[in-house]
Each structure stands twice: as C-alpha cells, then as structure tokens.
Amino acid sequence: MTQWPFMDVAVTLPMPHSFVYAVPDYLSDTCRPGMRVLVPFGKRRVTGYILKGRKDSGDYTAKKILDVLDDHPLFPENEIPFFRWVADYYMHPLGETIKTALPTGLERRDVAHVRTTEQGRMALDTPGLSPVESRILTLADTRQGISRKQLFNTMDSPSLRSLLKKMQDSGWLSVTAVLKKEAASARLEKFISPGEKPPDPAKKLSLKRQQILSIVAEKKEISLTALRSQVPTAPRLVKLLAQDGRVTITQRRVCRDPFGDPVEPDIPPELTSEQANAVNTVLNHLDQGFVPYLLAGVTGSGKTEIYLRLAADAVARGKSALVLVPEIALISQTERRFRARFGEQIAVIHSMLSQGERLDQWHNIATGKVSIVIGARSAIFAPFDNIGIIIVDEEHDGSYKQENGLRYNARDLAVVRARMCDCPVVLGSATPSVQIAHNVRTGRFQQLDLHHRVNDRPLPQITLVDLKKYNDAPPMDRIITPELAKAIRTCLEAGNQALIFLNRRGFASFPACSACHQPLQCRHCDITMTLHLSAHVYKCHLCGFCLPESTACPSCGKKAVKNFGFGTEKIETLLKTMFPDARLARMDQDSTARKGSALALLKSIRNRTVDLIVGTQMLAKGHDFPAITLVGVICADLSMNLPDFRAGERTFQLLAQVAGRAGRGDVPGTVIMQTYNPDHFTIEAARRQDVTAFYNREIPFRKALKYPPFTRMILVKLSGPEKEAVEQAALQAAAILLQLKDATPEMAQTVDILGPIEAPIPRISSRFRWQLLIKSPSFHQISVLVQALQNHPDITRRRTISLGIDVDPYSLM
C-alpha cells in the first residue's frame, strides 16, 4: 500500500470543494480513502472523509489530520465518483452528501457551547435584567454550558443572536468549543475461552467459579452476555479467573441483530412463462453491461420472484445485488422472502433500525460479509464495490424522494449508479411513473411485461359508488355507503379479510369553531390540525404541535370547536359499531409509531388473526396477503385536487395499487371504490386498471403545459422566520434569475421562470416560505442558472434566509 503524505478530504461543512490535509507520521499506516478523519477547520475540529492520497499539497499549506476515526473504510474508493456525481447534480456540498449517504450518528465535531461566567452569575442578581437574559444565564450555568444550537431551539426569540453577542461582550457569557462524539458506535462484546494455565488443585474454587469453568470448557468460547444469563455474577468472577490465567477474555466487534422471527428456507417455484421471459431477457443481455429496464407487471404478477432470480444470478457471478423497496412496512415482506432464499447473505438498511444496528449492517456490507442489500432509499448508497444488479421495486413511489437536505431521488440514482457500475438496473411497478414509461417510449429503457397474475388469477372486479347520491343521507351512510357495508358483510361471512383504505389519518380532519367559523389552525404552520381521539389531542401533521382535546378556539376563545372531516381513526370507530364481532386493526403512521408495532400488525394480517383492516397508503402497495378478498376505498378523490401537476398520476397509482391488494389468493377479489367523480378519467382508468389509457390522456397534458417528462425542473425554496424578509429575498432571487436568463438569447427563449409565489403551505414550523419554479427542456441551462443564484452575494449575505434547491422536485407544496 502506498503511503501518501497528503490526503484530499471532504469536510462535513457547506463547502463545495475538498481540502488537502497532511498525514502525520503516527497515522501514516492507517489513513485510507473511505475513512473518517478528525481535521481542524478554521477554529473548529470537524469530521472529514478521505477521498484520495496525494504526493503534494499544491500551493496550499496543509494542516495536519488530527485523528483517524475508522479502522476500516466506510465506503469503497470506487463509490467516490458516484458521491461526486450526486453532489454536483443536486448542488449539494460533497462532504454533506457523503454524510447523508452514511449511517447517521457518525459525526464528530466541535460544537459551540455558551457558558455563564462568574460575572454573569453575579449579574443574575441585578434588578435591571430582562426575563430573556436571566433565562439564558440560568440555562448556560452548568459545567459544560449549553450548546448554541440547543439554546436557539429552546428560546424562541428573534433577536437571540444579537442578544448573545451583547451578553458575551459584557463578559457574562463565554463561548468554547466542545468536541461532540459520535452517537453511533460499534458494539464490542467480551468473549470468554479457557485459559492457558492448568487448573491448580491446591486452590479451592467456589461453586460458581467451578460452574463458569465447566461451561467455558464445554463451549470452548462463550460471550459474556450468554454466560451471565446462566451465572449472574459472571462479569465479576471471570475477571478474577482471568487474573489467575484460568480463562482468557477477548473483546470483539459484534453485530446487533435487527432481524425479527426466523424464516423458513423456501423452495423456488417454477417460473411462469412471462416471468421466465423477463429473467432471460435480462440475463441474455448481461454482456451489454448497463441496460435499464422497466418491469411493468400487473399487481400480483410475481415481480418479487424475478428480483430473487436476478439477485441469485448476480451472487453466482461473484457480485452483489442492491434491492430498493419504498415503504419500511414493505421492507419486512421483501426481506422475509429474500432471507427465505438467501439466508445470512442479506443486510437491511432502513429507518426502523436503531443507529447502532444500521452501523452494523453498513459494516457488514463494507467488509464484504453480505452480498445482498435490501433497503429504503438510503440503501442506494450501500458501500458495495462490485455491484452486479440494482433493483427498484415500486419505482413510481414518492418515498424514493428525500424531501430535505440532500433532496435526492433514489430511483433516479439507481439508474446513475448502475451506469457507473456498468450493470443492469430493473425498475418494477404495476403502475409505472409517467417519467419511466416515457423513457420506454423514447427508447431509453427496455420494457419487460407481465400481463397476468400468477396462476392466471383474475384481476379484481372494481365497482364505483357515486358518493353524490348520498349527499342527504345520514352521516354514517355518507362515509361507509350501504354498498360498501354489504360487501364487507359478505366478505366477513365467507371468512375472508377486508382492507378498508383511506389515505388520511386521525379522527377528525377538519376541526372548526362553531361560533366564529375559523378552522383550528396550527400555531406554527398554515394548516388545519387533526383530532386524534385516542391521544386526546389535536395534532399538526407538519410540525407535531398539539393542543388538548378540550381546547378553546384560539381565534375567539369560545369552547365551541366542532369536529368535521374524518380519518382512519374515525373509520375504525364506525366499523367497530357496524361489525362488533369482527377482529379489527388499524395500520397508519400513528398505530405504527412504536418500534416493532408495524411488524406485529403485518404479522396479524398474515396469520389471519384480524378480519378487518383499516389502513393508509402504508398498506396500499406491494403487500401480498392472499386472504384479502375485498378492498374498500372510502374516498377515491382525496389527492386529486392538490395544486400539483402530478396529482392525477398519484391518484391513479394509489387507487390501482390498493385495488391490487384484493384477490391475490384462490378467491377472486372485489373492490368498492367510493368517489364524487366517477366520470373523471383518472378514476375511470383506475377502475379498469388501465395504465396505458391513463398515460395516453396524461402525456398530451404534460406536453402542452411543458411539464416533465418534457421539461426539467428545479424548485428554489426560500424560507425564514420573518415574512417580509422572505418575500424580499424571493423577489430578489427572481430578479437575479431573470437577469441571468435574459443575458443569453438561447436561455431567454427556452427557460421559464414561474413565480416567485408564496408556497401552497405558506408557513411550516414558524418559517415563512416562498418559491420559484424553473423549467427548461435543457437541464444544463437550469442547473447553470441555479448555481449562479446559489453563489450570488446578494443571496448568500442574507443570513436568516435558507435557500433550498430541489432538483427534479416531486412535491410542489
């Protein structure tokens, strides 16, 4: 291994470039690309990632690396070009891009701590002190003080920054740097094995010690945890035994096991002819390296079996397979199927794992212990150095898009990474996105088709129920119509399961005051709150702010809040009264918030210990529960009228997907879809489960209005705590962009700048929001424009305004 005197390091700060650091002698054996280092930056110490070795430092006097934080690289060297691509494309700093890619909790850095001085303590007793000042002095009066960030989070005062400066100048507060340690670390476990020394017969041992020695002799090696479960005092006793040389204690890294119940190995079924065709097409073109495929297969056509075969082939070729799954709820199903086939070769990456578990899974990938990864969007960064295939299940799903920080789309990155690894990528869906379907039509993707369900099971029969005819009916009949109630009864009587779908959680979604008619709004966001009956609170679904169930109307002060609108919790209550004998479960974000509860719910559906399930989109896609024969859609129109050009596409996908949960076993499925718009083409296409019909209507509309896939877009989001300042910044950003655009005749013609407008949700978490949408058929053009904006001094100098760049935005809200 070459020992380089200098290293290129990407620091975890908003810096576009990497920096050169010198390797001190005592670290020269240990520094390798892909490892974290602690480096000085300005007056602080921050975490950085080694990118590559260098012979010299150029014209630059390099500072020294302070410490190496890993003993094995966290990512392979050949992944670095991918990170660079991601950083450039999404206009995000390289170091922060890598930080987003890695498991969370791996950062060490100096944080500014504010501490009350002796003088400050004395000032606390003086009379002229403002309440804010005395609060700050009290909070900061601890040994380490309080971190600046924590102080800003606790104190909701707009002039905090200048106040702190003033207090510091008066000598009341001191600011120091405190090194923050990683939140996630390797788990080390002690193992006990027989010692070198022969037992000394002269020395009498207690019974407990004898017991320990015989266990260790029998097992050859046992973890201290396992030993302690047999002999509770083992930790103290083995220390003594080790001093006598009777046992040896070694410490090793162990993997925390995130897997739930054990899974029985499965026997691969014989492929249907459509499945075999799809698999063979991919395998026959392996010599072409990168080939992007759309696997368009109706619901229940057996796409997962194709993924299993393709992954098996990659592993057989000595390569690895990367499998992305959208919802964490769905990961468990896919993970089970993969583990049944591949056993221990699997790692999983998703947000239900603890930080430590995620770190262990990552380590298993980086050290080559596993060859298949199944995960949610962040798994696209898995540190494999030899990828043989990338698979994206439910490619149309919005959860592949990260909506803050590095706003990447893992589905799109799957294609980019496959191109860099020169391997095939398979995007699967029963309801492909307009974007990818368009890529097929323009010849950039190859389509693999599955037109039939496995075993020639029929697709479910879908009946629309026009909700308009129940406008004057009793409230109950407007929510669960007699048609739906009857279908549920029939389904339950036959001993089958029914899934009732509503994509809105909570009990009442529109609380409003009956005295002043104002809706109950969140204090920090411009949206209406939702009543959660079991938690006895009104909750804001954006920031989490709660008001008690007994709240008075914040506008007029009267105790007259009435609960209009409904969500899953209300449906659950209604069904309970209508079908008191049915075993009922509800699956939504609220009922699955606790670790393990989602898995327990899915298990109860699988084991048929529930009959009726109320669920949100969490249950709508991908799940394979053969006993579900009825799907009821409470309101098909919910997402249709959102101010977003993809509202129709999303509604179609959601409805066709949820319908696809019915009839996956031996009994054919039925779907009752309640809607106010039975004639709308989106609803009609969903009823016929006709993807092509939907696209043929949607594509001309996208083309006429110059929306993707015919243009590329970047959404520029500005937000800040002061309304006027955000508006001013947005107007200025627009002026800068217009000027840049008009300076180039070509851009003047093809680039469209829409806005600035106030965002559809004008305020979230007390931050005001404005936005600008930039469109052009050429991505290069809009990218150049936005980069210039990002670096424009008039924008960067505005310290209270944050500028968010959303490349290929998914949500325009």
Gap between the Cα atoms of 187 and 753, Å rounded: 52
State in angstroms the smallest separation of the CB of 540 from Zn ion: 3
Gap between the Cα atoms of 215 and 234, Å rounded: 11
Interface mask (CB under 6 A) for ligand ATP, residues 255-294, using x and -?
--------------xxxx--x-------------------
Q: Is 491 flagged in the annotation as binding?
A: no
The partner in contact with residue 540, picked from Zn ion, ligand ATP, none with C-beta cut-offs of 5 to 8 angstroms by kind, is Zn ion
269 or 405: CB nearest ligand ATP = 269
Gap between the Cα atoms of 654 and 619, Å rounded: 10
Gap between the Cα atoms of 491 and 495, Å rounded: 7
Q: Is 423 flagged in the annotation as binding?
A: no
Total residues binding ligand ATP (CB under 6 A): 18
Site for ligand ATP contains 691 (CB under 6 A)? no
Q: Look at residues 516, 794, 500, 535 and name the one whose alpha carbon lies nearest to residue 674.
A: 500
Q: For ligand ATP, which residue of 95, 375, 622, 756 counts as binding (CB under 6 A)? A: 622
The partner in contact with residue 660, picked from ligand ATP, Zn ion, none with C-beta cut-offs of 5 to 8 angstroms by kind, is ligand ATP
Helix, strand, coil % over all residues of the chain, rounded to 5: 35, 25, 40
Gap between the Cα atoms of 521 and 541, Å rounded: 11
357 or 393: CB nearest ligand ATP = 393
Please report, as residue ranges, which positions from 397 to 456 form the binding site for ligand ATP (by CB under 6 A): 430, 454
CB atoms within 10 A of CB 337: 17
Q: Is 421 flagged in the annotation as binding?
A: no
The partner in contact with residue 299, picked from ligand ATP, Zn ion, none with C-beta cut-offs of 5 to 8 angstroms by kind, is ligand ATP
Contact 278, 450 (CB under 8 A): yes
Site for ligand ATP contains 481 (CB under 6 A)? no
542 or 627: CB nearest Zn ion = 542
N-terminal to C-terminal alpha carbon distance within the chain: 51
Site for ligand ATP contains 511 (CB under 6 A)? no
Q: Is 546 flagged in the annotation as binding?
A: no
715: tokens are 């959404």
How far does CA 228 lie from the centroid of its chain? 38
| Residue, CB closest to ligand ATP | 302
Query: Which residues does 302 contact at the CB level (< 8 Å), separation at least 6?
Result: 272, 275, 450, 453, 454
Residue in the block written with tokens 């009543």: 531
Q: For ligand ATP, which residue of 209, 303, 504, 539 counts as binding (CB under 6 A)? A: 303
The partner in contact with residue 300, picked from Zn ion, ligand ATP, none with C-beta cut-offs of 5 to 8 angstroms by kind, is ligand ATP
Site for ligand ATP contains 305 (CB under 6 A)? yes
Gap between the Cα atoms of 505 and 486, Å rounded: 24
Residue in the block written with tokens 């989109």: 617
Q: Look at residues 632, 272, 216, 269 and name the one whose alpha carbon lies nearest to residue 449.
A: 272
Contact 694, 750 (CB under 8 A): no
State in angstroms the smallest separation of the CB of 353 from ligand ATP: 23
Contact 751, 691 (CB under 8 A): no
The partner in contact with residue 543, picked from ligand ATP, Zn ion, none with C-beta cut-offs of 5 to 8 angstroms by kind, is Zn ion
Binding site for Zn ion (CB under 5 A): 522, 524-525, 540, 542-543, 545
Site for ligand ATP contains 97 (CB under 6 A)? no
Gap between the Cα atoms of 251 and 255, Å rounded: 13
Query: Which residues does 675 contact at the CB level (< 8 Å), separation at least 6?
Result: 464, 465, 466, 467, 633, 635, 636, 637, 683
Residue in the block written with tokens 């499945």: 275
Site for ligand ATP contains 297 (CB under 6 A)? yes
97 or 429: CB nearest ligand ATP = 429
The partner in contact with residue 515, picked from Zn ion, ligand ATP, none with C-beta cut-offs of 5 to 8 angstroms by kind, is none
Site for ligand ATP contains 302 (CB under 6 A)? yes
State in angstroms the smallest separation of the CB of 511 from Zn ion: 14
Site for ligand ATP contains 245 (CB under 6 A)? no
For the annotated binding site, the residues are: 513, 516, 522, 525, 540, 543, 553, 556
For the annotated binding site for Zn(2+), the residues are: 513, 516, 522, 525, 540, 543, 553, 556
| Residues forming the site for ligand ATP (CB under 6 A) | 269-272, 275, 297, 299-305, 430, 454, 622, 624, 660
